[in-house]
Amino acid sequence: TVNIKINGYDYTMKKGITILDASFETLKMQREFMQQSIPTLYYLKGVQDVDQSGVCIAEVDGEIVNASTTRIKEGMEIQTRTPTVMEARKKALAAILEQHNKSCLYCFRSTSCELQDLLKEYGFTDEPDLPKTNLEQLDLSSKVLIRDNNKCIKCKRCINVCAKMQAVSAIACTGDGLDAKIEPASPAGLAAASCVNCGQCVAVCPVGALTEKTQMDEVKEALNDPEKYVVVQVAPAVRAALGEAFEFPIGVDVEGRMAEALRRLGFDKVFDTKFGADLTIMEESNELIERLNNDGELPLITSCCPGWIKYAEHFYPDMLENISSCKSPHQMQGAIVKTYLANQEHIAKENIVMVSVMPCTAKKFEITREDECGAGVPDVDIVITTNELAQMLKDAEIQLEAMNPNSKFDLPLGFGTGAAVIFGVTGGVMEAALRTAVEKLTGKDTVLEYTDVRGMNGIKEASVDVNGTTVKVAVVSGLANANQLLTAIKNGTADYQFVEVMACPGGCVNGGGQPHQNAATRVLNDVPKMRGAALYQNDAGSAIRKSHENPVVKEVYESFLGEPGSEKAHELLHTSYQM
Ligand code: HC1
Ligand code: SF4
In this predicted structure, what is the pLDDT of residue 390? 97
Nearest ligand 1 atom to the CA of 362 is 7
Q: Which residues pair with 210 in a beta bridge?
A: 147
Burial 111-128 (b: 16+ CB within 10 A, else e): ebbbbbbbbeebebeeee
Tell whether the model's pLDDT for residue 127 goes beyond 70.
Answer: no
Nearest to 145 by CA among 195, 104, 220: 195
384 lines ligand 2 (CB under 6 A): no
Distance 305 CA to ligand 1 centre (A): 7
CATH match for 107-119+132-212 among 2.40.30.10, 2.60.220.10, 3.90.870.30, 3.30.70.20: 3.30.70.20
Report the range of poorest mean pLDDT among 81-90, 156-165, 438-447.
438-447
Class in CATH terms, 216-275+331-402:
alpha beta
Nearest ligand 2 atom to the CA of 199 is 5
Distance 86 CA to ligand 2 centre (A): 35
Q: Which residues pair with 182 in a beta bridge?
A: 173
Mean pLDDT within 167-179:
91
Q: What percent of the chain has pLDDT over 90?
A: 85
198 lines ligand 2 (CB under 6 A): yes
20 lines ligand 2 (CB under 6 A): no
Nearest to 407 by CA among 518, 526, 253: 253
**Ligand 1 pocket test, candidate residues 303, 355, 417, 508, most atoms within 8 A of CB:** 508
171 lines ligand 2 (CB under 6 A): yes
Q: State the chain's mean pLDDT as an integer.
A: 94
**What is the secondary structure of 206-231 as a DSSP string?**
SSSSEEE---HHHHHHHHH-TT-EEE
Provide the CB-side half-sphere exposure for 286 (13 A, CA). 18
Closest-approaching ligand to the CA atom of 422: 1
Q: What percent of the chain has pLDDT over 70?
A: 98
In this predicted structure, what is the pLDDT of residue 164? 96
Q: Residue 31 — pLDDT band, cuts 50, 70, 90?
A: low
Higher pLDDT, 368 or 135: 368
Contact 76, 67 (CB under 8 A): no
Mean pLDDT within 115-122:
89
Mean pLDDT within 212-239:
97
Contacts 24+ apart (CB under 8 A), 523-526: 523/24, 523/27, 523/45, 524/24, 524/27, 524/28, 525/250, 526/456
60 lines ligand 2 (CB under 6 A): no
Taking domain 284-325+417-573, whether its CATH number is 3.40.950.10 is answered by yes
Mean pLDDT within 359-364:
98
Nearest to 244 by CA among 44, 536, 516, 36: 516
In this predicted structure, what is the pLDDT of residue 34? 57
Distance 210 CA to ligand 2 centre (A): 10
Nearest to 272 by CA among 425, 413, 424, 423: 413
Domains 2-94 and 284-325+417-573 share a fold: no
38 lines ligand 2 (CB under 6 A): no
Distance 481 CA to ligand 1 centre (A): 19
Per-residue pLDDT of 474-500, as tens digits, reads 999 999 999 999 999 999 999 999 999
Please measure the distance between the N-terminal and C-terminal CA atoms of the chain and give it in whole angstroms.
55
The pTM of the full predicted model, rounded to 2 decimals, is 0.92
Per-residue pLDDT of 419-429, as tens digits, reads 999 999 999 99
CA dihedral for 121, 46, 502, 462, sign (positive or negative): negative
Distance 424 CA to ligand 1 centre (A): 6
Mean pLDDT within 208-235:
97
Mean pLDDT within 490-515:
96
Closest-approaching ligand to the CA atom of 385: 1
Distance 194 CA to ligand 2 centre (A): 9
The helix or strand, by DSSP H or E, that contains position 171, with its residue range, turns out to be strand 171-174
Q: How many helices (H) and strands (E) does the chain have?
A: 20, 17
Distance 406 CA to ligand 2 centre (A): 37
Tell whether the model's pLDDT for residue 389 goes beyond 80.
Answer: yes
Closest-approaching ligand to the CA atom of 168: 2
In this predicted structure, what is the pLDDT of residue 384? 98
What pairing do the DSSP bridges indicate for beta strands 181-184 and 171-174? antiparallel
Distances (CA, A) of 473 to 103, 395, 431, 437, 496: 49, 45, 10, 13, 5
Residue with the smallest CA separation from ligand 1 atom 13 is 424
**Ligand 1 pocket test, candidate residues 254, 278, 360, 500, most atoms within 8 A of CB:** 360
In this predicted structure, what is the pLDDT of residue 179? 86
Nearest to 291 by CA among 247, 325, 261: 325
Distance 502 CA to ligand 1 centre (A): 10
In this predicted structure, what is the pLDDT of residue 458? 95
User: What is the amino acid identity at position 207?
Assistant: V
Each domain of the chain, given as residue ranges in start order, spans 2-94, 107-119+132-212, 216-275+331-402, 284-325+417-573
236 lines ligand 1 (CB under 6 A): yes
In this predicted structure, what is the pLDDT of residue 131? 59
Distance 431 CA to ligand 2 centre (A): 28
306 lines ligand 1 (CB under 6 A): no
Distances (CA, A) of 169 to 157, 192, 459: 12, 12, 21
Count CB atoms within 10 A of the CB of residue 215: 18
What pairing do the DSSP bridges indicate for beta strands 9-13 and 2-6? antiparallel
Mean pLDDT within 555-578:
96
Higher pLDDT, 133 or 29: 29
Report the range of poorest mean pLDDT among 92-96, 250-254, 416-420, 507-511.
92-96
Beta strands in 437-542, from DSSP E residues, in sequence order: 459-466, 469-477, 498-502
Chain Cα centroid distance, residue 121: 29
Distance 73 CA to ligand 1 centre (A): 47
Burial 445-468 (b: 16+ CB within 10 A, else e): ebeeebebbbebebebbbebebee
In this predicted structure, what is the pLDDT of residue 103? 79
Q: Looking at the domain that runs over 2-94, which CATH code has it been given?
A: 3.10.20.740
Alpha-helix runs per DSSP H in 215-360? 216-224, 255-265, 274-293, 306-315, 329-336, 342-345
Nearest ligand 1 atom to the CA of 359 is 7
In this predicted structure, what is the pLDDT of residue 242? 98
In this predicted structure, what is the pLDDT of residue 106? 78
425 lines ligand 1 (CB under 6 A): no
In this predicted structure, what is the pLDDT of residue 177? 86
User: What is the amino acid identity at position 287?
Assistant: E
Distance 118 CA to ligand 2 centre (A): 26
Contact 209, 115 (CB under 8 A): no
